[in-house]
Structures are given as C-alpha cells and as structure tokens.
Structure 1
Amino acid sequence: MEDARRHYLDQIRRDGVTLTPALAAAFAAVPREVFVPDGFHRGDGRRVLPADPEFLPTVYSNDVLVTKLNEGRPCSSSSQPSLMAIMLDALDVRPGARVLEIGAGTGYNAALLATLGATVTTVDVQADVADRARSALARAGIDGVRVSTADGYTTGSDDRYDRIIVTVGVAGVSPHWLDRLEPDGLIVAPVEHAGTHPVLAVRTGADGPAAAVVCPAGFMSAAGPLTARHRGSHPPPATLGDMTETAPARWDPALDALAYRDLWFAAGAWHRRVTHAAVPSRDQSYLALLDDSGSAGAAMLPDGSVLSSGPDAERYTAVAVALAGRWWSLGRPPMRAWRAVMTLDGDPAAPIWVPRAWHLTRRP
C-alpha cells in the first residue's frame, strides 16, 4: 500500500502538477479506496470491483472513478486526482477555513479538504450519493465534514464560508454562493465555455464578481438553474456528418494538448458558435464552430487543418482559420491569461452570474 500511494503522488506530479507539502501529505494520508467500497466504472465502461486485481492500482492512478450511472451516463464520480490537486491549490485553503463544497461525490475531495485543516460542508442533490459519502467519511475516520442533501443552487444553508469549491460543471455562479461568501473569499468552479468546463477562480469586487481562468477541465453537468442557457451560451456539443478538408495543416508539429486547449478557449472567447464536436472516423472530439442547424460547420484539428460540412462550409472555414491566426499572432496566449467580468443572466426566476467580455491580460 505504501508503494501504491507513493506511485500515486508520482502520477499526479507527472501531469505537470506541483504538489505543495500540505497537498502531498493529504493525498498520501487519505485512503481513496475507502471512498469507492462498491467499486467503480472505468472510462471504457468496465466495472471494477474491490476483489479485482486491478482495483487498487486503478484507485491509486490519476484516473476518474465513475461511481454512479443514470441510463448509462455518469452522474457521480471521484474526479481525476491531478485536477483535484490543481483546484485545491487554487482554493488556497488554510487551517481553520470554512469551506462549502457543491457536489459531494464520493466524499474524497471533502476528506482532502478536512485533512488540509478546513471545516467542510459538502452538499449533493442526490440523497443516495450524500449517504454514501457520509458513510465513507466515517469509515475513513475523517472529522470536520458535514454532508447534506441539498440543491446546489441554494446550498440549503445560511452559513458563511471563506472558500467555495464546485465539483460539477455549471453554466455560472449562483448568487446564493456569493451571499454566503466572506468579503475576501474565493469560489473555484468549472464553468461552461465552448463546450468544456474550464475551472475559474471567482472573487467579488466593487463592480461585481470577476473571473480568472485556472485550468482546462471537463465535468459532468449539474442540473437545474446552474446549467441554464443564457445570452452568452455556446452551442451544446454535437456530432458532425461527413466532412471535407477545406484548409490544410498549418502547424508541424501539431499543437500539444494544452496549447490546443489554449486555442480552444480563445476561439470561444471571440466567437459564440464555438463548441466541441465528434467528427466521423476520428476517436475524439475537436474544437468546432457550428452553424445555426447545430449539425454542420467547421472543425479545427490540432495541426490547424480544418474539416467542414454544410451549406456554409466555406464561411465557417474562413472563420476558423481567422480565429487560429488571431490566437497565433497574439503569441499563443495561455488560458490563464484571460479574465472576465460577470453579469446576471440565465433563468430569471433563478439567475446565475456568467462570464461576459473576456479580455486578455499580460499575466501568464
């Protein structure tokens, strides 16, 4: 087990994450296997049970562990540890901090927060998920965590917090979170942008909340007003039909995964038809611009080539090429260089704060 946990920390660091001593100690101390007592589903859909030889090696890998499916689709999980580490580092948790977590999941993230010295309230709208998290925390001997079944939009509590962390994809920030946040507090949340959920750090200010990008991410989406469509919404992800190459490759070698995400974010900041789409005969989704039908448009691959379809293929190809050229001419700005003001939008009966007017800063 000691070897497994040491290997675990190495895998988290291998993804480019710098673990602080406190974070490394927390990941080493909290037994992740206790939080998946009934096993989990791997990315390929296979179920792994505690008696299986691959159980512990997978638990102590840098993988998402899906713990609940709804009609075959994941609806609860233990997130990728390297992403958890980045978000916890951005949250800047200090001993004694009061933390609200939206999305209890397995309870593992709350256990890490408690091990860092926080007093944690974690909420989940799914009663069975909250019950299992509560039981796992008890089995692990973790104190200082309260688990509640509540709607994430309202939080079900009037308590105040120094930090709020959201572990489910949302379209914006609930006003109820800001109402419960101390004046110098911080929210770390994955907020929808161009079909993905980059993690944002949100702080209040004189002109309202403002957001800065922490890292790229993809999360399961929340339900209800937290995922309401708004005036700045991008199209939902799509599957495109037969496509033709309409612009040649422009980068050799192709962009690596992080640079491609940087381009993707910039394209989404500049154009509201950007999302991601599955492309025929390709095994992953790509940055795409969809036409008004939502079933055609253009997709840009990491080498800069463009595939397109539909009656406006030529126009969307030109837009994709122009967006890539703009990003390149600005020096390939990283995702973390973007900032945004936020405005109230979404469902008028249950509004959310959403990013508006993304702008680049000089800060990397």
Structure 2
Amino acid sequence: MEDARRRYLDLIRSDGVEFSATLAGAFAAVPREIFVPDGFHRRDGRRVVPADRDYLATVYSNDVLVTKMDGDVPVSSSSQPSLMAAMIEGLAVRPGMRVLEIGAGTGYNAALLATLGAQVTTVDVQPDVASRARSALARAGLPGVRVETADGYTGGPPERYDRIIVTVGVAGVSPLWLDRLDPGGRIVVPVEHAGTHPVLDVRPGLMSARVVCAAGFMSASGPLTARHPRSHPPAAVALDGLTETSPARWRPSLDARAYRDLWYAAGAWHPRSSHASIAGRESSYLAILDDTGEAGSVVLADGAILASGESAERYTAVGIALADRWWALGRPPMTAWRVGLALGGDPAAPIWAPSSWTLDPITPGG
C-alpha cells in the first residue's frame, strides 16, 4: 500500500498539479478504497470490484471512479484526484475553517478537507449517495464531517462558512451560497463554458472570478443548470458529414493543455462554441455549432477545420478567426481570464452566471 500511495502522488503531480506537502500528506493518509467498498465503473465503463486483481491499482490511479449510474449516465463518482488536488489548493483552506461542499459524492473529497483540519458540511441531493458517504466517512474515522441530504441550490443548513467548494457542474453560483459566506470567503466551482466545466475561483463583492483549471463534471439538476443569456449550446453527440475545409495551420499540434486554452478563448469570444464528438474518433472537440446544433465547424488541435451543413463555409471562417485570434494574442492560458458574473437563469431561483470575459495582458515570452 505504501508503494501504491507513493505512485499515486506521482501520478497526481504528473498531471501538472502543484500541491503543498500538507495536501500531499492528506492524499497519502486517506485510504481511497474505503470510499468505494462496493466497486465502481472505470471511465471506459468496465466494472471493477474489490475481488479484482487490479482493484487497488485502479483505486490509486489518477482517474475518476464512477459509483452510481442512471442507465448509461453517470450520476455520482469520486472525481479525478489531480482535479481534486487543484480545486483544494485553489480553496486555500486552513485548519479550523468551516467548509461547505456541494456534492458529497463518495465522501472522499470531504475526507481530504477534514484531514487538512477543516470542519466540513457536505450536501447531496441524492439520499442514497449521502448515506453511503456518511458510512464511508465513519469507517475512515473522520468526525469532522457532517453529511446532509439537501438540494445543492439551497446550500443545506443556513450556517456560515469560510469556504465553499462545488464538486458538480453548474451554470452559475446560487445567491444562497453567497449568503452563507463570511467576509473574505471564496467559492471554488466548476461552471459550464462551451460544453465543459472550467473551475472558477469566485470572489463575492465585485462578483468576479478567475479560472483555476480545466475540468469536466457531471451536471447538477434544477436551477443550478438553468439557461442564461450567455449559455453556450449543448454538446453535439456526433457531427456527421464533416469534411476538411481548411488545412492544418500548426506544427506540431497543440498539446492537450494548449488545446483547452484555445477552447476556453473560443467560448469567451463566440456564443455558439461548444463541444462535439466525431464519428470514428474517441475524443471530444471544440465546435462552433449552427442554430440547429447538428452542424457547424470543428477546430482540431493542429488548427485544421472540419465543417458540415448548409453554412459550412461561414462556420469554417468563424473557426479560423477564433484560432488565429488566440494565436495572435500569444496563446493565452485559460488562467489569464477574468470572468464577470451577472444574475440570470430561472427568475424564481436565479444564479450568478458568467456574463463577460476580460483577458489579462500577456507578458512577452510568458
């Protein structure tokens, strides 16, 4: 187990996450297997149970462990550890802080926060998920966590917190969360943007945010995922009939991180940016979708453009313009963006959703 956990920390770091020795100690100390006692589904859909030879190796991989399905749709999981590490680091939690977590999942993330000395209240709208998280935390011997069954929009019990962390994809920030925060508090939350859920560090007051990292999360339900004036279109399941309408423009191709940076910029600049699958390919891609949501253009990592539909020429031009604009600005990372928030969504249960984006100046050579 000692070797497995040492390798586990190396895997988290190899994903580009810089995290403190204290947080590394929490990852090394909290046994992740306690939180998936009945097994889980891997990202590829394969079921893994404790009797399998690769059970512990998979538990201590840098990957999401899906613990509940609704048909073919994952509805609860233990998130990718490197993503958890990045979000917890962004939270800047200190011993004694009161932390509200929206989305209990397996309880593992709350366990890490408690190991750092936080007093954690974690809420989940699914009673069975909350019950299993409560049991796992008890087995782990972590008394500093309270698990509540509650709608994430409400934030659960009306108490005060120093920090709020959200572990489910949302379209914006509930005003009720802001009511829970003490002065100087912050919210770390994955907010929908062009079909993905980049993590934002939201500072109340001016209602602005900075991007922490790229992410993809299961989406919440109810008013937390309501449409708003700057909502991007839903992802296209698969775009058929695509043909190359503009050749590759970059050699070598963008790596995964730079491609996500381009994707974020496209979402800031164009309201029809989203993501799409392509028949015969496993990955998802940056897409600019037409009004039907079934055609448009796709920007590949090498800058080539694929397009389909009656407006293929128009959407090819849009894809080229977005890619060239990002490149000309010095390939800004997503962390260079400042995000302004405005009230929108369901008038009966509004959310503070992204409404404007400002790019920090890029330092030459930076």
With the shorter chain as reference, the TM-score category is: over 0.9
Deviation of residue 43 (structure 1)? 1.2
What SS class does the counterpart of residue 172 from structure 2 fall into?
coil
Q: List per-residue Cα deviations over 1:23-82 (Å, max 9, x = no partner).
A: 011000000000000000011111100111110000011010000000121000000000
Counterpart in the other structure of 1:218? 216
Counterpart in the other structure of 1:236? 234
Counterpart in the other structure of 2:316? 317
What SS class does the counterpart of residue 128 from structure 1 fall into?
helix
Counterpart in the other structure of 1:77? 77
Q: What amino acid is aligned across from residue 58 of structure 1 in structure 2? A: T
Counterpart in the other structure of 2:247? 248
Deviation of residue 280 (structure 1)? 2.1
Give the TM-score normalised by the residue count of structure 2: 0.98
Counterpart in the other structure of 2:52? 52
Q: Is the 8 Å Cα contact of residues 161 and 185 (structure 1) preserved in structure 2?
A: yes
What SS class does the counterpart of residue 76 from structure 1 fall into?
strand
Deviation of residue 209 (structure 1)? 1.2
What SS class does the counterpart of residue 85 from structure 1 fall into?
helix
Q: What amino acid is aligned across from residue 331 of structure 1 in structure 2? A: G
In 2: Cα distance, 1:172 partner to 1:298 partner: 27
Deviation of residue 121 (structure 1)? 0.2
In 2: Cα distance, 1:341 partner to 1:298 partner: 28
Counterpart in the other structure of 2:163? 163
Q: Does 1:343 align with 2:347?
A: no
In 1: Cα distance, 2:240 partner to 2:64 partner: 30
Deviation of residue 341 (structure 1)? 1.4
Q: List per-residue Cα deviations over 1:224-275 (Å, max 9, x = no partner).
A: 0000011100000002111110000000100000000000000000000000
Counterpart in the other structure of 1:153? 153
In 2: Cα distance, 1:19 partner to 1:202 partner: 20
Q: What amino acid is aligned across from residue 270 of structure 1 in structure 2? A: W
In 2: Cα distance, 1:26 partner to 1:44 partner: 28
Q: List per-residue Cα deviations over 1:207-229 (Å, max 9, x = no partner).
A: x4111100000000000000001
Deviation of residue 19 (structure 1)? 2.2
Q: Is the 8 Å Cα contact of residues 133 and 147 (structure 1) preserved in structure 2?
A: yes
- Larger displacement relative to structure 2 (155-164 or 116-125): 155-164
In 1: Cα distance, 2:182 partner to 2:23 partner: 24
In 2: Cα distance, 1:5 partner to 1:259 partner: 30
Counterpart in the other structure of 2:299? 300
Deviation of residue 156 (structure 1)? 2.3
Q: Is the 8 Å Cα contact of residues 242 and 280 (structure 1) preserved in structure 2?
A: no
Kindly report structure 1 stretches of 4+ aligned residues shifted beyond 6 Å: none
In 2: Cα distance, 1:107 partner to 1:338 partner: 31
In 2: Cα distance, 1:108 partner to 1:307 partner: 41
Q: What amino acid is aligned across from residue 198 of structure 2 in structure 1? A: P
Q: What amino acid is aligned across from residue 292 of structure 2 in structure 1? A: S
Counterpart in the other structure of 2:225? 227
In 2: Cα distance, 1:362 partner to 1:203 partner: 21
Q: List per-residue Cα deviations over 1:172-203 (Å, max 9, x = no partner).
A: 00000001011100000000000000000000
Q: Does 1:278 align with 2:289?
A: no
Deviation of residue 328 (structure 1)? 0.6
In 2: Cα distance, 1:280 partner to 1:38 partner: 34
What SS class does the counterpart of residue 230 from structure 2 fall into?
coil
Q: Does 1:106 align with 2:74?
A: no
Q: List per-residue Cα deviations over 1:304-342 (Å, max 9, x = no partner).
A: 000000010000000110011110110000000000111
Counterpart in the other structure of 2:129? 129
What SS class does the counterpart of residue 274 from structure 2 fall into?
strand
Q: Does 1:5 align with 2:5?
A: yes
What runs of 5+ residues in structure 2 fail to find an aligned partner? none
Q: What amino acid is aligned across from residue 100 of structure 2 in structure 1? A: L
Q: What amino acid is aligned across from residue 221 of structure 2 in structure 1? A: A
What runs of 5+ residues in structure 1 fail to find an aligned partner? none
Q: Is the 8 Å Cα contact of residues 254 and 302 (structure 1) preserved in structure 2?
A: yes
